[in-house]
Amino acid sequence: MTRAMATIMALVLAPFATLTFAQAPSAAGSPTPGFNNKIPEKIMTPDTVQTRIGTLNFVDGVPTAETTQKVYDNLDFIRGIEVFLNFIPAASIESIRLGNAEMGATRSNQAVIFDQLLDSNPLLLTGNTDTVYCLAMLDLETDGPTVVEVPPGSGPGTVNDAFFRFVIDMGIPGPDRGKGGKYLIVPAGYKGELPKQGYFVARSPSYVNLLVLRGFLVDGKPDAASKMFREGVKIYPLSKAGNPPKMQFFNGSKVPYNTIHANDFEFYKELDHVIQKEPLDFIDPELRGLAASIGIRKGKPFAPDERMKKILTDSVAVGNATARAVSFRGRDPRNAIYPNSQWQTIFGGADYRFLDDEGRGGRNLDARSMFYYGYTVNTPAMVAKIPGKGSQYALGFADKAGNPFDGAKNYKLNVPANAPAKDFWSVVLYDPQTRSELQTSQPFPGRNNKRDKLAVNADGSVDIYFGPKAPAGKEANWIQSVPGKGWFAIFRLYGPLESWFDKTWRLGEIEEVK
């Protein structure tokens, strides 16, 4: 090194010469044992820590073997709960697919139709007693782009993907506006040529898709809607448009079959089938990683050992309890439709994607768990303000005093005059165990203002009664309950009007009658 270079280096390093003194113990406190300096307590881990999962022991910050096993068991337990809560939508779609298959509908051109309406025999999450349902499962992996022909006059219809996400509406809220038309459901990654006109096209990120169509009653009867669907609904691969396979319909009315996901260890097996079936990227890496953390991974068998199976059995029990808490005893004050009311909204403070405050609050996970644990068919039309079209819902889990409903007690609901429903309104009771229609001696545990000949009060309002026995002279307005069983209610408006949205019309509370 030349003298000139040495001079330059000395000048460069001179400002740093005093930095060595910064490493000396500060006057703020004496050195922490084992260190040269005082270490902030907040970054240290004591040798013993008391927690809700027990005593955790460390040796200089390193967990002991016993503590390591304890926290890993806890981590697997937590992940199992999170998988349950986050994947309820996927398991629910899978269970509907299994239910359709139980009825014989295993291909897309085979559909289940409720010709005599949905009674309380089938187990179907909070289905209504007021419209004719037609359910079909699409399989875009097998069939490729799939055509759905919807007849004119169809009520609200929707396609949801294998994670119960919205794909497209059909019928009245769809682009055909109730005039009928051809829809083309296309796999997200499809690269082939598609028709340039003649179809309403939607892409789905999953192979399995649920199609739900609803038809309105005519003169209080389901016959016209059943005939419309049986003659007008056609589902077939685009590749077979020239010679589509014949439709087959299976009547689901009065048939005791199940479409609801498991609430025990079987849940994870249902989910595993979905993960194996669907494209890798039908869910994002975060969710894939969550499922993989408990052993559910595409391309690999789900084979938990005895330790893991025991932990996941506990996880699903706690996850199920959590889903029931957020469903029946929700804690979000935004769920209330009116001030000081027990009536709740179906999406809480979120939109149909469960985005809170237009996404500023992220995804409302409790709202998503609550919705999919008890309900099916996700569409913007369920939350959008569309006066005169679509449907709106009010959920009732407790009486005016805040107590859950007791099937041995009697209650009354007053529906004020001029209910804001262009088409109809109805009240239906459900079983909190199955989240399906309450099974009583009444095959249809509900009342509909257009189908039923309800007694009307002098002021135009209608009183609906709930209890084990009908009040004398009120049989037409009575919905039966069962002693020893709870229940909850859903008030529906089809074709909701402005006074529902601006709350100038207010639904009465359900009150106990002693």
CA angle 171, 175, 177 (to 5 degrees): 50
Q: In b/e form, how buried is each residue of 340-372, taking b as 16+ CB within 10 angstroms?
A: eebbbbbbbbbbbbbbbeeeeeeebebbbbbbb
Summarised one tens digit per residue, pLDDT across range 2-47 is 555 454 445 444 444 444 444 444 446 799 999 999 999 999 999 9
Confidence (pLDDT) at 382:
83
Confidence (pLDDT) at 102:
97
3-class secondary-structure state, position 309? helix
Please answer whether residues 393 and 344 qualify as being in contact, where contact means their C-beta atoms are separated by less than 8 angstroms. no
Q: What is the 3-state secondary structure (H, E, C) of 224-256?
A: HHHHHHHHHCEEEEHHHCCCCCCCEEEECCCCC
- C-alpha dihedral (91, 95, 98, 99), degrees to nearest 10: -170
User: How many alpha carbons fall within 13 Å on the CB side of residue 502?
Assistant: 5
Confidence (pLDDT) at 176:
97
Largest CA distance in the chain: 114
Query: Which structure tokens are listed for 120?
Result: 């309380």
Query: Which structure tokens are listed for 22?
Result: 């910064």
Confidence (pLDDT) at 11:
46
Residues of the chain with pLDDT under 70: 1-28
Question: Which run of H or E residues covers position 467?
Answer: strand 462-467
Confidence (pLDDT) at 381:
84
Which residues lie closer than 8 Å to 460 by C-beta, 6 or more apart?
416, 417, 418
Q: Which amino acid is at 123?
A: L
Q: In b/e form, how buried is each residue of 269-294, taking b as 16+ CB within 10 angstroms?
A: ebbbbbbebbbeebbeeebbebbbbb
Confidence (pLDDT) at 18:
44
Q: How far apart are CA 454 and CA 60, in angstroms?
A: 75
Name the strands in the sheet holding 54-59, side by side, starting at the edge strand that comes first in the sequence: 48-51, 54-59, 62-63
What is the DSSP secondary-structure string of 116-134? Answer: T---SSSB-TT--SSSEEE
Q: How far apart are CA 107 and CA 127, in angstroms?
A: 23
Q: How far apart are CA 259 and CA 274, in angstroms?
A: 15
CB atoms within 10 A of CB 172: 25
Please answer whether residues 449 and 456 qualify as being in contact, where contact means their C-beta atoms are separated by less than 8 angstroms. no
Query: Which structure tokens are listed for 452?
Result: 């039923």
406-to-56, 58, 83, 280, 399 alpha-carbon distances in Å: 44, 51, 32, 46, 10
Summarised one tens digit per residue, pLDDT across range 421-462 is 999 999 999 999 999 999 999 999 999 999 999 999 999 999
Please answer whether residues 408 and 128 qualify as being in contact, where contact means their C-beta atoms are separated by less than 8 angstroms. no
DSSP state, 401?
A: T
3-class secondary-structure state, position 405? strand
Confidence (pLDDT) at 389:
81
The structure tokens 């459900």 sit at 430
Q: Which amino acid is at 290?
A: L
